[in-house]
């Protein structure tokens, strides 16, 4: 009898080794390697003894008519925006987020919206009993909808139940870490079980045409738990984000085969569930103090949506040998670059000052167009001069001190006008920028021009020595 082959799989990253060891060489985690059979483990595939000859498959032309609408709309505009205009039939969507952030609430409200529109929705809960799911549905005012519930964790039983009924339009699996399959010999939640369960559900979605939404837990690093191959198997990956001290939530798209990957949906958490935020800029600027120095309004873009957010900076003298740099909501490497450019080309000496930077409302900025707003907030805080309360800033700063144009300048200005802003500071040669209807667009070419504009009015009125106005 042939000796059974074994493999050792890391339960954190999915790395496969031929021997057991205490520390995973791929991710560096300790005590995460588990012994598994090759036939049921990662890369094992079907049993070796069941090999058969392949059968020919009919080839289909690329052109042709589709019998059904390619997308189904949940009735929640922000959710449909994040998915690229609605859920594509036959697609698999993976949603991750921190515990208690509102993933189940969002999916329950989406399921209720689809059921009210006449679609068949099946909600499979592996973490809660049917009575607990009904209790949440009553709180969200979704108990009167025709959403079918199932409390099951075995993948084969779930697929057998779905095959008996009429094909559903949407199947929600909450969550993939609770699923287990008879094809794998490991415990539920392990890498092998997660991979096997997702593979079976994705195969069902492609074969039946029903859309499947999978809920995934996240690790302490904010990544979806389980092997990275799961994110490659599904069609879209969404992250539901939010800070504990803030009441709003952001649904962010990081992968989408049927739409853009830089769209966001903004929600506000309340007693009756999640409420859509049609204008996120008003939410992020709701508690702004326009007379305080060190605050600049940045006109950013999230996909096709312009978003205005306040960037706050505090520059204070330090008594430490190494000044402190604390950043919330922005990239620390870009802040270091902006500080270096301010000191090298603008004469703004910040080597003896602590710098604190915060994006108001818990929002996170990823685009380099925020460089100009950050620089304006830093100079404003250092000089003690408040920036104009009706002015927005956007532009990318290069290492030479030049300010480079950014995309969608016209949309940024239009959003600022909508919220009552009358001025905009932006780079020269910005395409489609135009001019503000009731105000001015100040086009600057280099960063020293911005420093002179912000801090120049403080000359002769107690301006700090940390700014060299003649540089």
State the Cα–Cα distance between residues 123 and 106, nearest whole angstrom.
13
pLDDT of residue 462: 41
- Beta-bridge partner residues of 266: 250
pLDDT of residue 48: 47
Give me 39's structure tokens: 């036939």
Q: Where are the beta strands (DSSP E) in 318-385?
A: 325-328, 353-359
Task: Give residue 152's Cα distance to chain centre.
Answer: 29
pLDDT of residue 87: 94
Handedness of CA 192, 198, 200, 206 (dihedral sign): negative
Same fold, 71-278 and 283-457: no
> φ, ψ for residue 110 (rounded to 5)?
-65, -40
Q: How far is residue 324 from each of residues 332, 355, 378, measured CA to CA in Å?
A: 12, 6, 14
State the Cα–Cα distance between residues 444 and 449, nearest whole angstrom.
6
**Nearest 10 degrees: Cα torsion 188, 194, 200, 204:** 110
State the Cα–Cα distance between residues 210 and 68, nearest whole angstrom.
12
Helix boundaries (H) for 165-312: 191-208, 229-233, 280-284
Question: How many CB atoms lie under 10 A from the CB of residue 31?
Answer: 10
The answer to whether 386 and 290 are in contact (CB under 8 A) is yes
pLDDT of residue 104: 92
> φ, ψ for residue 233 (rounded to 5)?
-75, -35
Domain range list for the chain:
1-44, 71-278, 283-457
pLDDT of residue 43: 46
Tokens 């107690």 -> residue: 462
DSSP 8-state class, residue 397: E
Q: Which residues of the chain have pLDDT under 70?
A: 1-5, 37-52, 66-69, 219-227, 243-245, 431-439, 456-471
| Fold classification of 283-457 (topology level) | Ribosomal Protein S5; domain 2 (3.30.230)
DSSP 8-state class, residue 388: P
Q: Angle, nearest 10°, between helix axes 371-383 and 332-346? A: 60
C-alpha gyration radius of the chain: 27
Handedness of CA 175, 176, 178, 182 (dihedral sign): positive
pLDDT of residue 133: 93
Question: How many CB atoms lie under 10 A from the CB of residue 224?
Answer: 24
pTM for the full predicted model = 0.76
pLDDT of residue 3: 56
DSSP 8-state class, residue 234: S
Handedness of CA 294, 298, 302, 307 (dihedral sign): positive
- Candidate CATH numbers 3.30.70.1140, 3.90.79.10, 3.30.160.60, 3.40.50.300; the one for domain 71-278: 3.40.50.300
């Amino acid at each position: 009898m042939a000796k059974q082959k074994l493999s050792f799989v890391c339960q954190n990253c999915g790395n496969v080794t031929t021997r057991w060891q205490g520390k995973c060489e791929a991710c560096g985690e300790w005590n995460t390697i588990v012994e598994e059979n090759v036939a049921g483990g990662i890369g094992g595939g079907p049993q070796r003894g069941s090999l058969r000859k392949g059968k020919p498959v009919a080839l289909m032309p690329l052109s042709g008519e589709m019998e059904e609408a390619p997308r189904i709309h949940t009735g929640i505009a922000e959710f449909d925006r994040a998915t690229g205009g609605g859920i594509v039939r036959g697609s698999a969507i993976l949603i991750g987020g921190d515990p208690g952030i509102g993933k189940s609430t969002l999916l329950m409200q989406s399921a209720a919206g689809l059921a009210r529109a006449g679609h068949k929705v099946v909600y499979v809960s592996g973490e809660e009993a049917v009575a607990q799911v009904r209790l949440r549905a009553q709180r969200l005012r979704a108990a009167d909808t025709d959403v079918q519930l199932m409390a099951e964790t075995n993948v084969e039983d779930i697929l057998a139940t779905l095959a008996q009924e009429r094909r559903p339009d949407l199947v929600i699996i909450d969550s993939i870490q609770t699923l287990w399959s008879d094809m794998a010999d490991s415990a539920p939640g392990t890498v092998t079980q997660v991979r096997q369960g997702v593979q079976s559900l994705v195969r069902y979605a492609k074969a039946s045409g029903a859309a499947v939404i999978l809920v995934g837990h996240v690790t302490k690093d904010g990544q979806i738990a389980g092997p990275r191959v799961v994110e490659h198997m599904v069609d879209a990956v969404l992250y539901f984000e939010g800070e504990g001290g803030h009441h709003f939530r952001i649904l962010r798209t990081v992968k989408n085969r049927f739409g853009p990957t830089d769209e966001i949906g903004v929600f506000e958490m309340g007693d009756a569930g999640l409420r859509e935020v049609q204008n996120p800029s008003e939410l992020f600027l709701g508690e702004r103090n326009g007379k305080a120095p060190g605050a600049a309004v940045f006109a950013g873009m999230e996909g096709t949506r312009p978003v205005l957010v306040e960037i706050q900076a505090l520059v204070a003298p330090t008594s430490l040998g190494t000044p402190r740099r604390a950043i919330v909501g922005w990239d620390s490497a870009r802040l270091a670059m902006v500080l270096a450019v301010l000191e090298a080309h603008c004469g703004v000496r910040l080597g003896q000052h602590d710098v604190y930077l915060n994006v108001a409302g818990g929002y996170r900025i990823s685009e380099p167009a925020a460089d100009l707003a950050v620089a304006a907030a830093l100079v404003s805080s250092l000089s003690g001069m408040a920036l104009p309360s009706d002015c927005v800033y956007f532009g990318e700063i290069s290492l030479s001190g030049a300010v480079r144009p950014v995309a969608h300048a016209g949309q940024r200005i239009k959003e600022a006008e909508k919220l009552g802003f009358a001025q905009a500071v932006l780079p020269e040669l910005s395409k489609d920028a135009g001019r503000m209807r009731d105000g001015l667009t100040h086009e600057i070419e280099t960063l020293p021009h911005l420093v002179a504009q912000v801090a120049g009015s403080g000359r002769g009125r107690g301006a700090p020595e940390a700014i060299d106005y003649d540089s």
